[in-house]
Amino acid sequence: MRGSGQTPSRDTGPYTDGSGNPQGYYMFVEASDGFTGDMTYLWFPPLEITKNSSLHFTYHMYGDHIGTLSVVVQDIPSGSISKPWSKSGNQWQYWHKKCINIPASSSKIFFVAEKGSGHRSDIALDDVVLLDTKCSDEANIDCEFEDEYLCGYINQSTSPWNRVSYGDSNYVSSKADKTGHYMMSSSSGTSVMMSPSHMHRGGKSCVQFSFFAEKREANSSSGLSVQLWEESVQNTKKVMWNRNQSSDGYWQNGQFQLDLPAGISAWCSWRIFKKMDLWLLIM
72-130 pLDDT per residue, tens: 999 999 999 999 999 999 988 888 888 899 999 989 999 999 999 999 999 999 999 99
Average model confidence (pLDDT) for the chain?
82
User: Is residue 238 exposed (0-12), middle (13-18) or buried (19+ Cβ within 10 Å)?
Assistant: exposed
In a domain, 139, yes or no: no
- The pLDDT tens digits for 31-86 are 998 999 999 999 988 989 888 899 999 999 999 999 999 999 999 999 999 999 99
Rounded Cα–Cα distance for residues 183 and 145 (Å): 7
Residues facing residue 129 across a β-bridge: 56
- 7 and 120 housed in the same domain: yes
- Same structural domain, 171 and 271: yes
Q: How far apart are alpha carbons 158 and 17 in whole angstroms?
A: 11
Tell me how many domains the chain contains.
Answer: 2
The structure's pTM equals 0.69
Task: Quote the CA–CA distance of 169 and 164 in Å, as a whole number.
Answer: 9
Could you give phi then psi for residue 274, rounded to 5 degrees?
65, -145
Verify that 183 and 264 share a domain, yes or no.
yes
Q: Which of 182-196, 217-231, 243-257 has the lowest mean pLDDT?
A: 217-231
pLDDT-derived band at 2 (thresholds 50, 70, 90) equals: very high
- Model pLDDT, residue 283: 42
Could you tell me if 64 and 99 lie in one domain?
A: yes
Domain extent, residue 102, equals 2-131
